Amino acid sequence: MKVTTLVVPAAGLGTRVLPLTKNLAKEMLPIADRPAMHYAAKEAADSGITRMALVIARGKESIAHYFTRDLNLERELSTKGKTKELAAISEPAKFFDSVVSIYQDEQKGLGHAVLCAKSAVGNDETFAISLPDDVMMCEPPCLRQMINACEKYGADGAIALVSVPPGEAHRYGIVAGRELDGRTIQIDTLVEKPKPGEAPSNLAIMGRYIANPYLFECIEKTAPGAVGEIQVTDALQQFAKTKKLIGVRYEGTRLDAGDMTGYIKTQFILAAQNPVYRKIMEDILTNGVPRDNAA
Ligand code: G1P
């Protein structure tokens, strides 16, 4: 199965991490030493995806700029022999052959944001969707695991899944279906943000999806649902009626950088992956914050 395009809904206001997002796109907030968006893009590139369609709002153009070359800066760093920095700024421009931005003028929900990318995806290609709030630490990359599972089962689409405690189901899309193997289910039921006691299982949707363009038709027919918005989850319920939709319990860890405590935790975990930053963090946690001008 060839998956060429990654759709990234990135038009949100980032109200769950204010004031950081007062004048910065949420997707450009630093997580360890890279912007949040870097991780979702790298995962897609490492999964074999070659195009990215960013669905943005006015004022969020900086997300696309991060994935373009800055020839002046490249020349400057090259002249000064700053090879590490040069490699770091050049990397994101190499992830994709092309990056397009599409404006979502009105905030009508995740489903509506995905629909905005319809013409960028085209009519006959299976595509991927990533919600960059969910940072996936997976090997192979999460989207790759999902594409592999689609190939194995001849599926038309896939969703990344994780089991959550019953008390957390209301925060997610929840799915149910028939077990195919220990990691994969065929999905027949999807409910976005179920009310207490109404979740069909404990399997929650994490922000990674694969679908063929029939999903766009389903979204077009989907009325506003949970929180008054057009939901991808509701459109996928239509999709699953006639298409084979699987759920993949990926190998790895999902970090939720979408609210303030999750964002701080994600910072901590990703910084700790780097031995230099890890040492700094360990020193501080062991010895406390060093005092200037100690007597
Ligand atoms: C979105 C989806 C939801 C999914 C979640 C994963 O919700 O609508 O189905 O479980 O992402 O992060 P949001 O976090 O935008 O409320």
| Tens of pLDDT, residues 155-208 | 999 999 999 998 999 999 999 999 999 999 999 999 999 998 899 999 999 999
* Residue among 157, 163, 127, 123 at smallest CA distance from 233: 157
Residue 271: its pLDDT value, please? 96
- Decide: 194 and 174 in contact? Cβ < 8 Å: yes
Q: How many alpha carbons fall within 13 Å on the CB side of residue 241?
A: 8
Residue 123: its pLDDT value, please? 84
Q: Does the CB atom of residue 96 touch ligand 1 within 6 A?
A: no
Question: Residue 57: in which H helix or E strand, if any?
Answer: none
- Decide: 94 and 141 in contact? Cβ < 8 Å: no
| Cα 257 → chain centroid | 10
Per-residue model confidence as pLDDT tens for the chain (295 residues) = 899 999 999 999 889 999 999 999 999 999 999 999 999 999 999 999 999 999 999 999 999 999 999 999 999 999 999 999 999 999 999 999 999 999 999 889 999 999 999 999 988 899 999 999 999 999 999 999 999 999 999 999 999 999 999 899 999 999 999 999 999 999 999 999 999 889 999 999 999 999 999 999 999 999 999 889 999 999 999 999 999 999 999 999 999 999 999 999 999 999 999 999 999 999 999 999 988 997 7
Mutation test residue for ligand 1: of 16, 17, 108, 110, the one with most atoms within 8 Å of CB: 110
- Decide: 138 and 180 in contact? Cβ < 8 Å: no
Joined together, the tokens standing for residue 41 give 């893009």
Task: Go through 33-63 and write b for each residue having 16 or more CB atoms within 10 A of its CB, e for each that does not.
Answer: ebbbbbbbbebbbbbebebbbbbbbeebeeb
Q: 263 CA to middle of ligand 1, Å?
A: 15
Q: What angle do CA 211, 197, 226 make, to 5 degrees?
A: 45
Q: What is the DSSP letter of 263?
A: H
Residue 269: its pLDDT value, please? 97
Q: In sequence order, what are the beta bridge partners of 5?
A: 51
Q: Does the CB atom of residue 173 touch ligand 1 within 6 A?
A: yes
Q: Does the CB atom of residue 7 touch ligand 1 within 6 A?
A: no
Q: 192 CA to middle of ligand 1, Å?
A: 8
CA distance 88 to 148: 30
Joined together, the tokens standing for residue 152 give 């194995």
* Residue among 39, 40, 205 at smallest CA distance from 130: 40
CA distance 85 to 83: 5
Closest atom of ligand 1 to 204 CA is 10
CA distance 261 to 242: 40
Q: What is the DSSP letter of 290?
A: P
Residue 295: its pLDDT value, please? 73
Q: 47 CA to middle of ligand 1, Å?
A: 22
Backbone angles phi, psi at 190, to 5 degrees: -140, 135
Q: What is the DSSP letter of 178?
A: E
Q: 278 CA to middle of ligand 1, Å?
A: 30
Q: Does the CB atom of residue 172 touch ligand 1 within 6 A?
A: yes
Joined together, the tokens standing for residue 50 give 């070659």
Say whether pTM exceeds 0.85: yes
